[in-house]
Amino acid sequence: MIDPRCLAWVAAGILVSCVAVQAQDPVMGSVTAVRETEPVDVDPDDPAIWVNPADPLQSRVIGTDKDFGLVVFDLAGKTLQKLPDGRLNNVDLRTVVLGGEEVTLIAASKREDNTIVFYTMAADGSVAHAPTFAYPGAPTQVDDDIYGIGFYKDLAGSLSVIASFKTGDVVQWEIGGTPAAMELRFARQWKLPSQPEGVAADDGLGLLYVGEEDGGIWRFDANPRAGTDGTLVDKVGSACLPVDDVEGIGVVSTGPESGWLVVSAQGVNRYALYPRKPDADGRQPCIGSFGIETGATDPVGETDGLDVTSAALGPDFPAGLMVVQDDRNEGFSRNFKYVSWADVVRALGLDQTPLPTN
Amino acid sequence: MTQGFAHRRVFGQPSSQAKAYLRAAIWATALGLLVAMPKPVDAEDLSASDKAINAEVKLGDATGKAPTEWLGPKPHFVMVGAYRDFTFDIAVPDLAAATDFALEAKREYRPLEGGKLAYIDFEVAVALTTNGIEREFEFEFENADFSTHARPMTFALKDAEFPEGAFSNLELQIEWEWVEKSVIVNEEQLITDGALTVALEEGSPSADGTVPNGLIGGFVTGTFEGKPIAISFTAPVTEAEIDD
């Protein structure tokens, strides 16, 4: 990818030099949020975006409110539903076929009892408890809280759920059965050097990312039957992750192999971007990072959970939507912010062709 | 930029047309750099006057005089000193009379064998508005069990989790957004040079053995990177939690 700043240099014939600079120097940018949700009651952490296939403008954002439960918002940021289910930390969702029946499943990590709790999303965007609500997060007791959560749906449509624990443990469960009688089968368990949180799978490329808060971004084979050797994509102390914590992780898919990995760099209130597909040497060098500054909303500080979709969700989000937790608003309230992905593409000079116009 | 470009001798001496391209390239590159540069999301790029607005936290009957002891059981908060680039001169001698100011405390416990609880942690949280900026500070202290010590009791600050004996861990957190300037301040730091004196602990136990009410009073002196800070507080306790 070529830094657009280098285009001027093309005229002088030194493109090669610019490409080299780009590879070494991540682009730093900033964007503003398009809007924000209504405040949550306590402390938001992690969002998940449900793209309504029938009417993208009626898509939903599901967010955790850490000491309360789940909150469902529309794209205007209005609170539509509150589910007071306790200390839900992270959330993710997928639409799958289970037992011949299509269902949109939402999973959340519940810290009181280290369980994974499941919800279903109806076609009208309403959220309800799954018939069996709570499943153990780990096959044996883990000595500290369940923390991150993420789904992985492979290209054949098989679903698994991955939970991270504050101990460093990561547990993956295969999901079978039917929506009415879901079964979780233990697949594998491994451990990171220190506390992880963010979990996100790249379904198309079969990759699993887990953020080690003080360490960096780990990449694993997402196949639940695979080994547990990991690759450190980027580590705390780098240009894009200068200080801890590594928090939320999202995969932006713009094609079978194209797109980006977005990672919350909490210590600098920014989001780091990496190419979605590792290069031939397995590297994913940081492309750049951006912050969310004052615009239609206040800025975003202490960046934490996030989710991103490249699906066009109407004129405000023509190239997709990024939803992020915001730890601070005027009046000491907290909420989620909505960012147009097209703005990120422009701010960092990313190559997303064709880029819709606002 | 120009100098670096001129030194690229591999391209030889530029023609006049190339010079025009060169000038365009330099301007375009400069413009590109400007566009790509992040606007301030920290305090580094502020003007001197804005830096002062951001960094000087002054509130109430501030005199600049640091407290030298605990100022008594009436709910209050006095904090004078400096931390990194920030200076604090906050004097709220009577919480009941304060405006744009909130103060509360939380106790945290850990279960022990036999159903007892160890009182391992308390947090004092401050929310205030100065210079139009809403700011929050948190001071979190840890000990193996604060309830086992008589009062007043002085604890030396130490980098250790839940230290035994006359030691305490202190984590300082300061946070705010200056929305107009897109400035975000979010600092967390262990203060390991100094002392905490717990002078007051009162409240009524609830059924689970925690004390989610009453008052905590104390006096803190600390030094970080050579800059001293002193705090006297008596804070209403509004919450208690068992860390299981």
pLDDT value of position B36: 39
Taking the Cβ of residue B179 and every Cβ of chain A, the question of whether any pair is shorter than 8 Å is answered with: yes
- Given CB atoms, is A42 within the 8 Å cutoff of chain B? no
> Is B184's pLDDT higher than 80?
yes
* Tens-place pLDDT, residues A11-51: 433 333 344 344 558 999 999 999 999 999 999 999 999 99
- In the structure, what pLDDT confidence band is assigned to residue B11 with cuts at 50, 70 and 90? very low
Q: For the residues of A64-81, what is the DSSP string, one character each? A: EETTTEEEEE-TT--EEE
Q: Which of A15, A145, A269, A348 to mutate to test the interface with B (most CBs of B within 10 A)?
A: A269
Q: Which residues of B touch A14 (CB under 8 A)?
A: 8, 11
**Fold (topology level) of A19-348:** Neuraminidase (2.120.10)
Q: If you average pLDDT over residues B204-214, what whole number do you get?
A: 96
Does residue B133 fall inside a structural domain? yes
Cβ separation of B39 and A330 shorter than 8 Å?
A: no
Predicted confidence (pLDDT) at residue A351 exceeds the cutoff of 90: no
Contact A331/B at CB under 8 A: yes
Residue B59 to chain A, least CA–CA distance (Å)? 18
pLDDT at A328: 86
Instruction: Name which of A202-206, B140-144, B188-192 the model is least confident about.
Output: B188-192
pLDDT digits (tens, 9 = 90+) for B77-102: 999 999 999 999 999 999 999 988 99
The pLDDT value recorded for residue A302 is 87
A-B C-beta contacts closer than 8 Å: 91
pLDDT of res. A25:
83
Q: Calculate how close chain B gets to A129, using CA atoms only, in Å.
A: 26
**Across A140-144, A305-309, B58-62, least confident range:** B58-62
Cβ within 8 Å, pair A270-B41 = yes
B34 pLDDT more than 50: no
Q: Return the pLDDT at B44.
A: 73
Q: Is A29 on the interface with B (CB under 8 A)?
A: yes
The answer to whether position B129 is within a domain reads yes
Q: Give pLDDT, residue A15.
A: 38
Q: What is the mean pLDDT of residues A130-146?
A: 95
Contact B22 A4 (CB under 8 A): no
For range A147-163, the mean pLDDT:
98
Terminal Cα distance for chain B, rounded: 58
B186 and A CB contact within 8 Å = yes
Cα B210 to Cα B220: distance, rounded to the nearest angstrom: 24
Residue A247 confidence (pLDDT) above 60: yes
Cα–Cα dist B215/A4, whole Å: 59
Structure token pair of residue B59: 């509130």
Report domain extents, chain A. 19-348
Whole-angstrom Cα distance, residue A75 to residue A316?
9
Residue B226 within any structural domain of the chain: yes
A213 contacts in chain B (CB < 8 Å): none
With an 8 Å Cβ cutoff, are B28 and A8 in contact?
Answer: yes
Q: What pLDDT score does A104 carry?
A: 98
Q: Domain residues for B157?
A: 48-242
Q: Would you call A186 an interface residue with chain B, using a CB distance cutoff of 8 Å?
A: no
Q: Which chain A residues are within 8 Å of B39, Cβ to Cβ?
A: 30, 293
**Is B190 within 8 Å of chain A by CB?**
no
Residue B157 in this model has a pLDDT that exceeds 50: yes
For residue A9, pLDDT over 80 is answered with no
> What is the 8-class DSSP label of residue B244?
-
Q: What pLDDT does A11 receive?
A: 40
Has residue A310 got a pLDDT over 50? yes
% of chain A surpassing 70 pLDDT: 91
Amino acid at B233: F
Please compute the mean of the pLDDT values over residues B182-186 and round it to a whole number.
Answer: 91
Distance from CA of B230 to the nearest CA of A (A): 26
What pLDDT was estimated at residue A73? 98
Q: Is A170 helix (H, G, I), strand (E, B) or coil?
A: strand
Residue B16 has pLDDT above 90, yes or no: no
**What is the pairing mode between strands B167-178 and B153-157?**
parallel
The beta-carbon neighbor of A328 closest among B41, B175, B182 is B175
Report the percent of chain B where pLDDT is more than 90. Answer: 73
Distance from CA of B21 to the nearest CA of A (A): 6
Helix boundaries (H) for chain A: 7-11, 15-24, 341-348
State the average pLDDT over residues B197-214.
96
Is B19 domain-assigned? no
Could A294 and B181 be called an inter-chain contact, meaning their C-beta atoms sit closer than 8 Å?
yes
Would residue B26 count as lying in a domain?
no
Nearest to A36 by CA among A298, A358, A315: A298
| Per-residue pLDDT tens digits for A71-124 | 999 999 999 999 999 999 999 999 999 999 999 999 999 999 999 999 999 999
Rounded mean pLDDT, A231-241? 96
CB B69 within 8 A of CB B199: no
Interface contact A141, partner B, CB < 8 A: no
Q: Which of B11, B26, B179 sits opposite A13 (nearest CB)?
A: B11
Q: Is A4 on the interface with B (CB under 8 A)?
A: yes
The structure tokens listed for A317 are 């989000």
Report CB contact under 8 Å: B22, A12: yes
Residue A179: partners with Cβ closer than 8 Å, 6 or more residues away: A98, A99, A101, A103, A105, A120, A130, A131
The residue assigned the tokens 């202490």 is A302
- How confident is the model at residue A332, as a pLDDT? 83
Rounded to two decimals, the ipTM of the complex is 0.71
What pLDDT is attached to residue B61?
78
Q: Which pLDDT score, from 0 to 100, does residue B115 have?
A: 87
pLDDT (mean) for B137-146: 97
